[in-house]
Amino acid sequence: MEEALKGRSVIRNIAFFGDANVPESDPDYKHAFNVAKRVAAEGYTIVNGGGPGIMVAATRGAEEVNGETISVTFDPTNAPGFEGRYLGNVVDTEITTTNYIERMFKLMEHADVYIIFRGGSGTLSEFGTAWVLANLYYGHHKPFILFGDFWREIVDTLSRNMNIDEKEMSVFKIVGSEEKVLPVIHHFEHQARGKDHSEDCRVCMDSAFTL
């Protein structure tokens, strides 16, 4: 694992977003498990929201190869519609937050690349947040991967009906298979290494959301 990390100092943590309600038999669960296993085997740390579904699939995939895992959790006392922390999602490090918004931004902070699987409104909020942060900090942004060919139709609809410019379309990649995830992460790494981080770079001052 240490050999895999040599020369890879920019991207270290990969966050997984997606549906909390998918069972182990669901194809999306299996994809998340397998992708996390591949990514963790390369030495990357897996980050998720500490819940069930895609989140626990990512943790368990990483565990298969003794990979490192982080969860960012919050117990939804006053938000009964939120799935909350899942006792079956046991990670190496847990970061506890006090509400949904804090949790989402902590997830964004503690990862360098985001992989977004199929999900509901919560996943859409994470997708939108990742996209707007990439636009705000473009050039030093944290990129993301949309896993699944169904994303092509969604993104096409958005690009045709919303005011999305070419720059915003360049901060992510749509990936249709497990095998293509690592090459895209390596591509993002190559791009990140080419960025100019001079001392007076204003973007770099907000390092929580930049590479």
* Domains of the chain as residue ranges with CATH: 2-209 (3.40.50.450)
The predicted pLDDT at position 4 comes to 43
pLDDT of residue 81 exceeding 90, the answer is: no
Return the closest-CA partner of residue 90 out of 133, 56, 124, 139: 56
Cβ atoms 66, 91 nearer than 8 A: no
pLDDT of residue 195: 76
- Do 25 and 32 touch, CB atoms closer than 8 A? no
64-to-36, 121, 160, 180 alpha-carbon distances in Å: 9, 30, 41, 20
- Identify the CA nearest to 57 among candidates 95, 84, 17, 105: 17
- Tell me what pLDDT residue 150 has: 98
C-alpha span between 169 and 177 (Å, rounded): 20
pLDDT score of 197 = 64
Read off the pLDDT of residues 47-78 as tens digits, 9 standing for 90 and up: 999 999 999 999 999 999 999 999 999 877 76
Which DSSP category does 205 fall into?
G
pLDDT tens digits along 150-206: 999 999 999 999 999 999 999 999 999 999 999 999 999 999 888 776 655 666 666
DSSP E strand stretches across 25-143:
45-48, 69-73, 93-96, 113-116
Buried b (16+ CB within 10 A) or exposed e, 87-121: eebebeeebebeebeebbbbbbbbbbbbbbbbbee
Q: Please provide residue 204's backbone torsions phi and psi, each rounded to the nearest 5 degrees.
A: -65, -15
Residue-wise pLDDT tens digits, 119-155? 999 999 999 999 999 999 998 999 999 999 999 999 9
Query: Considering Cα of 37, then 38, then 42, then 47, what sign does the dihedral take?
Result: negative
